[in-house]
């Protein structure tokens, strides 16, 4: 899969990559690259691509969502941006996917004022990967 710019892929490129049966990420730590470049539109697309599937791409996009919260919650400007990020979570409103619902609830908790605990955050991600 070719990307014009793997640091800033288009919606069509992300959809095409996600549709492949086995598609290695184009660069190391691509989930971090995508998280750093997150905007409300990309967040909605990541929610869509992560929801309702057990494909490797769906798992990858759920990882991107967790990575995004980790990135923004540790940013020095986080306190002044909490409300904006909380509003972005509307992209996941109405989803029926349980993993996305749990991610949204966890993210909302952080964005609405709970202290961010990175160890607990990634423990929640790990739990998503090994459901009971």
pLDDT in tens, 100-115: 999 999 999 999 999 9
Residue at token pair 């509003």: 87
Residues 61, 40: contact at Cβ < 8 Å? no
Of 52, 41, 127, nearest to 91 by C-alpha is 41
Q: For 16-26, write each residue's pLDDT tens digit.
A: 999 987 888 99
Q: For 57-89, write each residue's pLDDT tens digit.
A: 999 999 999 999 999 999 999 999 999 999 999
Q: What is the rounded CA–CA span in Å between residue 126 and residue 112?
A: 23
Q: What is the rounded CA–CA span in Å between residue 95 and residue 27?
A: 29
**pLDDT tops 90 at residue 44:** yes
């Amino acid at each position: 899969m070719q990307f014009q710019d793997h640091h800033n892929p288009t919606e069509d490129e992300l959809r095409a990559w996600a549709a492949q049966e086995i598609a290695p990420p184009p660069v190391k730590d691509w989930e971090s690259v995508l998280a750093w470049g997150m905007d409300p539109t990309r967040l909605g697309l990541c929610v869509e691509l992560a929801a309702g599937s057990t494909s490797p791409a769906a798992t990858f996009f759920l990882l991107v969502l967790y990575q995004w919260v980790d990135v923004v919650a540790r940013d020095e400007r986080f306190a002044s941006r909490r409300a904006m990020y909380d509003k972005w979570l509307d992209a996941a409103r109405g989803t029926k996917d349980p993993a996305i619902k749990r991610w949204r609830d966890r993210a909302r908790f952080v964005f609405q004022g709970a202290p961010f605990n990175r160890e607990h955050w990634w423990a929640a991600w790990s739990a998503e990967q090994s459901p009971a």
